Chain A
Amino acid sequence: MARATLTQSGGGVQPHLSFAGLVRQFPDGVRALDDVSFDVPKGQFCVVLGRSGSGKTTLLRSVNGLTELDGGTVRLNDTEMARGTLRAIRRRVAMVHQQFNLVERASVAANVLSGAVAEVSGWRVHLGWYPETLRARACAALHRVGLDEIHLNRRAAALSGGQQQRVGIARALLLNPEVILADEPVASLDPAISREILTLLRDVARERGATVLCSLHQTDLAREFADRIVGMRSGRVVFDGPSARFDAAAEAALYENTPAVVSPKAPATLERSYGCTPL
């Protein structure tokens, strides 16, 4: 698929992904998203930065409908996120997860191929008989993320954390997504591996012209890799600009210790939205 050339934020480009007035409120009154609005142009590597609980994950999950919104709209190009468009949007948006979310017992190849189950015909999925072209694409994706043929039939659990995240990225790339959501993709990896993974993520996204929305909590990594940083705190956007403008004052606004919301009931309510029922 042909993609528009890489663009930086602003500059009158048509937004690829746009958030308008997002609100997500948990039943106990905690607002994970509190009137969040911004646009992401095509091809941008946009980092959502913030502490734990600032609403980054909720924001990312609102794009593919893993979290239901209480208000506001999410648009991908001109498609508005709704019950009817959910499946279609999910096929165009891939996700890379903090804990890789691989089937640990299954082989690396099976994990990568599982990225295409939404596109492959049902009988092929159920017999595990994926078409030749798709298998070739899976190999190409694995090669691109830096894995070798010897890894194909190895169990995912046998790989190191960095390698597992590479498999996760290969799985995400299999359907040539327009948008890659990366939810704390390096939070469980050490700093050196984190840089490798983020470099890989940035490079593969550039090659394909894919837009990346990546949540992070490390400011140094955000400064190094982001085209643009969106800083979040308590569900609100408190900083938005190119990474060069993210200075000490902005960092303090994001991380400075002030009394914050405490919600003892929140984990249980969040758990509920973890189920895999669509919307």
Chain B
Amino acid sequence: MGAPRFETSPAAPVKSPEHWHLPAPYDWRAALAVLLIGVALIWSAQRVEIDKMLRLTGEAVLAQVGLQDESQVGRGLGRMFGSLFPFVIEDRQEIARLPNLDRDNLPMFTRIEVIENTRYKMNTTTLQAEPVVEAKEYLVHPYGYLFKVADKMLETFEIAAWATIISVLLSIPLAIMGARNYTPHPVLYTASRSLVSFLRAMPELIIAMFLVLGFGFGSIAGYLALGLHGAGFLGKFYAEDIEAADRKPQEALTALGAGKLRVLRAAVLPQVAPAYVAYTLYILDRNVRMAAVIGLVGAGGIGQELKGRYDLFEYGHVGTILLVIFLTVFVLDQISARLRARLIG
């Protein structure tokens, strides 16, 4: 079909070129707009302390290259990073608190460590502080904490995967209803688009906070929150791709008597599938990262563990958690890049 074809008039009146009007690409209004934006940014800069940020960053850089003794930023971050190491990967439990422990048959990989602690105790008769040696027994699993974090990370990944599945299942009908050329009714179009914008506008952390109130602490609130928010993204992107798909094959199948759903399946889906795979993998990727964050409000996964350890100032444990999150996200990113290349290529 291409461009519509119409007869052109050979007798169209020709204006001489000196009366043509070719305006400059922009005028004083554009300059004024730039000026106003500049003023707004300057006004805003002092509200968000851009100057302080630049000063502190500059000091930190100077301290690094040795031109300044120390800096506030360097000190704060340095103390934090210093306490992250060494990473804690062992699990240590006091045996006094494990009444059911069978000493002849310890759990796998574990061993018992005895640690002698010297305490000074006031002798009530001599009124002297005397050293007392106390031996405490610990059941030590050398990689116990790492295993626990890995298990939490798996739970986080499961939350992310289920959230993605929920997003996809919700957004397919939303996308069909929200695509202008396939919606069953204009009212449904508006309703679907509004719902999708609403879901996208609600930050997942906030949805999770409310869902925790309803479903209690744990992963249910996590994957529901991420799934709803993801449906807001996928519903929009899926619908826009349906609208932007090449109309020519759709028209061909319509001309052969196919109904809307079949045209959608046979002429639109093959066109949009690669982009859908890319969006969905992005949402999965994002859900893994966000699942680590929403744990902070009690929605399950590794974030909940992270928040607990952070609040107890156990930075060694925090370090291990951060490392595991980083490695997982890195590996998933590599896998999804390869998957995308294979599915799209």
Contact = CB atoms under 8 A, between A and B. Distances in A.
Interface of A: 30, 51-54, 57, 64, 66, 87-91, 93-95, 97-106, 110-111, 114-115, 117-118, 122, 125-126, 128, 168, 171-172, 175, 181, 183, 234, 257, 259-263, 266-267, 270-271, 274-278
Given A52-B6, A53-B6, A275-B181, A126 B252 contact: no
B255 A125 contact: no
B253 A117 contact: yes
A114 B253 contact: yes
B10 A259 contact: yes
Contact of B7 (A103, A115, A260, A277): A260
Contacts of B247: 274-276
6 contacts: A93-B255, A101-B1, A101-B248, A114-B253, A168-B252, A276-B251
A257 B10 CA distance: 8
A52 B254 CA distance: 24
B260 to A, nearest CB: 8
Given A91-B256, A117-B258, A259-B9, A274 B270 contact: no
A98 B2 contact: yes
A118 B251 contact: no
A64 B255 contact: yes
B66 interface: no
B266 interface: yes
A125 B262 contact: yes
Contacts of A171: 252, 256
B342 interface: no
Contacts of A172: 256
B2 to A, nearest CB: 6
B280 interface: no
B265 A263 contact: no
The 8 closest A-B pairs by CB, nearest first: A90-B257, A52-B5, A118-B257, A260-B7, A101-B252, A101-B248, A91-B257, A270-B4
A172 B255 CA distance: 10
A110 B249 CA distance: 12
Main secondary structure on A side of the interface with B: loop
A50 to B, nearest CB: 10
Given A98-B2, A271-B4, A276 B266 contact: no
Contacts of B271: 103-105
A274 B1 contact: yes
A104 B6 contact: no
A54 B5 CA distance: 9
Contacts of B277: none
B276 to A, nearest CB: 12
Interface residues of B, number: 38
Contacts of B12: 262
A118 B9 CA distance: 42
Given A259-B10, A260-B9, A66 B251 contact: yes
Interface string B197-225: 00000000000000000000000000000
A100 B249 CA distance: 8
Contact of B249 (A101, A118, A175, A183): A101
Nearest to B252: A101
Nearest to B180: A275
A200 B279 CA distance: 43
A261 B259 CA distance: 36
A261 B254 contact: no
B37 interface: no
Contact of A118 (B7, B10, B181, B259): B259
B11 A125 contact: no
Contacts of B8: 260, 262
Given A52-B7, A117-B262, A234-B7, A110 B270 contact: yes
B332 interface: no
B258 A267 contact: no
A186 to B, nearest CB: 14
A66 to B, nearest CB: 6
Given A234-B7, A260-B7, A261-B7, A115 B250 contact: no
A134 to B, nearest CB: 13
B261 interface: yes
Q: Which of B4, B8, B274 has the most CB of A within 10 A?
A: B4
A171 to B, nearest CB: 7
Contacts of A276: 181, 247, 250-251, 254, 260, 263
A8 to B, nearest CB: 28
Contacts of A125: 262, 265-266
B51 interface: no
A118 B262 contact: yes
A106 B272 CA distance: 11
A273 B302 CA distance: 55
A117 B252 contact: no
Contacts of B251: 66, 97, 101, 274, 276
B6 A114 contact: no
Contacts of B267: 103, 114
Interface string B31-63: 000000000000000000000000000000000
B255 A95 contact: yes
